[in-house]
A and B are shown apart, each in its own frame.
Chain A
Amino acid sequence: EDQVTQSPEALRLQEGESSSLNCSYTVSGLRGLFWYRQDPGKGPEFLFTLYSAGEEKEKERLKATLTKKESFLHITAPKPEDSATYLCAVRIAGNTPLVFGKGTRLSVIA
C-alpha cells in the first residue's frame, strides 16, 4: 500500500537553529511531491512541488530537496513565524489524488 511518512512528528527549535524535516514515501510511481504549510485551524498553504530526484526548490528560509525515496524540507535560521505544521503529499503515476503524511509540527522559540 502506498504510504507517506513524515518525521519527526514534532520539532522544537531555537530561533536561528537550522534543521530538516523528512518525508519518506513508498509509492509505485511518483508524479509529484508537494510541501504545504498549515497554521492551526487554517487550510494548507502551498509551498513547493518537486518532480524528479535531484530537484531542489527554495523560498526564503525554506529549501526542499527530493531523492528517489524521500524529500527533505530544510529550514535555515528559522524565525518564530515559521512555527506551523508542515505537510508532505505525493501524487502517484496517473491522475490520482494527493496522499498526505501526518505532518511535522514545528515550533520555533525566540
Chain B
Amino acid sequence: DAGVTQSPTHLIKTRGQQVTLRCSPKSGHDTVSWYQQALGQGPQFIFQYYEEEERQRGNFPDRFSGHQFPNYSSELNVNALLLGDSALYLCASSAGTITDTQYFGPGTRLTVL
C-alpha cells in the first residue's frame, strides 16, 4: 500500500519565481492538507482540500494557492517567492474532512535564493 508521495524532493528557486509542488494521497484517502515547516519549528497549516475545493485555510497570503484533482492528488502553488518561503513543505492525507489521523508524505525541501 503506497503511502503519501510528494514531488519533487528538493527544489531551488530564486526570489520572484513561481513554484508548483505535487502530492498524491495515501490509497483510500480523499482529503489533502498542506503544511509549511521552517527549520526547528513545527508544521504550520496552509490549507486543506476536499472534493476539489479549498475547505480551510491557515494564515498564509494569497501567493499560496492550491488545487485538487478528481483522483484526489493535489498541487501547491507559490507565486512571487520570498526568501522566507524557504522551508520543508509537507502534504498530509486523510479520509474525509473530519477524520482524525493525517498521514504525512516525505516533504519537498524548497530553497529560495
Q: Could you list which residues of chain A lie within 8 angstroms of chain B, going by C-beta atoms?
A: 4, 31-32, 34, 36, 41-46, 49, 51, 87, 89, 91, 95-103
Contact = CB atoms under 8 A, between A and B. Distances in A.
21 contacts: A4-B42, A34-B100, A41-B88, A41-B107, A43-B104, A43-B105, A44-B43, A45-B104, A46-B101, A87-B42, A95-B97, A96-B56, A97-B58, A98-B43, A98-B45, A98-B102, A100-B42, A100-B43, A100-B44, A101-B42, A102-B40
Contacts of A41: 88, 107, 109
Given A102-B40, A103-B42, A32 B90 contact: no
Contact of A97 (B45, B101, B109): B45
A89 B4 CA distance: 19
Interface in B40-62: 40-45, 48, 55-56, 58
A67 to B, nearest CB: 19
Nearest to B98: A95
A43 B102 contact: no
A16 to B, nearest CB: 28
Interface string B32-45: 01000000111111
A32 B107 CA distance: 24
Contacts of A44: 43, 90, 104
A43 B42 contact: no
A55 B90 CA distance: 29
Contact of B104 (A4, A36, A51, A101): A36
B40 A32 contact: no
Given A43-B106, A87-B42, A101-B42, A31 B4 contact: no
A45 B107 CA distance: 12
Contacts of A32: 100
Contacts of B90: 43-44
Nearest to A43: B104
Contacts of A91: 100
Contacts of B44: 100
Contacts of A43: 4, 6, 90, 104-107
